[in-house]
Amino acid sequence: GQQVMQIPQYQHVQEGEDFTTYCNSSTTLSNIQWYKQRPGGHPVFLIQLVKSGEVKKQKRLTFQFGEAKKNSSLHITATQTTDVGTYFCAGLKTGANNLFFGTGTRLTVIP
């Protein structure tokens, strides 16, 4: 079964609106990573969060790791057409050897 759940599956926003995607795990994660995949492209590593309650920013993107290390979010402020793509979270379960990817959130930005 799916190890890491991600919602929503799809999101359409007007350019300039904000966007948030959420990632949830039933078990504690040692770290969580976020990737972006443009249409027709390959996943590109964005960031990794390791500490409980950690918040990291990359320009208009804000990443959070929950206090219990079971959930995470990615927030994009004032979306642009260049933000279009699918955003994946990937969690490394404590004691495990490999990442489990969420099913992704496909973002469409309407100009």
- For another protein, the binding residue among 28, 30, 58, 80 (CB under 8 A) is 30
Measured over the CA atoms of residue 12, residue 60, residue 46 and residue 68, the dihedral's sign is: negative
Please report whether residue 73 would count as binding another protein according to CB under 8 A. Answer: no
Q: Alpha-carbon distance 53 to 5, whole Å?
A: 19
Q: Alpha-carbon distance 7 to 25, whole Å?
A: 12
If the CB atoms of residues 85 and 102 are measured against another protein, the closer one turns out to be 102
Please report whether residue 85 would count as binding another protein according to CB under 8 A. Answer: no
In the complex, which residues of this chain contact another protein (CB under 8 A)?
6, 30-31, 33, 41-45, 47-48, 88, 90, 92, 97-104
